[in-house]
Structure 1
């Protein structure tokens, strides 16, 4: 079974992290690599740090929002990076 929703974390060349949500992870990473995403286009190259896959859109979206919160950033730094 393929899980359609992804939450991902990128580490940019300047050390900043980007957390995103997508329905098509391959297409979205290609957009990042091609400089089509405003936040990351001046921070290439990047490293994929983590990808979580979900079958439920709301759960994926909620996890992305959590990872962008203060406690979510602490969780990211402890568990994923």
Structure 2
């Protein structure tokens, strides 16, 4: 079953990263307040990036990878600045968080 990794930009400027097997349905759920708690309190949302995978578990794995990224690194991905991604990786001594709320 196909899977999709997606990044939404919320009305407060934060990013939400998720995965699904039906991208259109999931975006509609977020827009109508039936998605995650984070997007529900930050409507409207806008799809700013997605990747398609042959399997939904691959999309889920990618979701978890990107959730640990800094805001700057997510922005580089969204803007297609792929060559900047390695330089934006966190150093081992940097603490990591799972949310990216400005």
User: Under TM normalisation by the shorter chain, which class is it?
Assistant: 0.7 to 0.9
**Which runs of 5 or more structure 2 residues have no equivalent in the other structure?**
80-102
Alignment partner, residue 6 of structure 1: 4
SS of alignment partner, residue 61 of structure 1: helix
In our comparison, the structure showing a higher alpha carbon Rg is: 2
2:25 paired residue among 27, 30, 42: 27
SS of alignment partner, residue 31 of structure 1: helix
TM-score by length of 1: 0.83
The alignment yields a C-alpha RMSD, in angstroms, of: 1.7
Alignment partner, residue 61 of structure 2: 62
**Which runs of 5 or more structure 1 residues have no equivalent in the other structure?**
none
Query: Which has the bigger relative contact order, CA under 8 A and spacing at least 6?
Result: 1
**Count of aligned residue pairs for this structure pair:** 78
* Structure with the larger strand share: 1
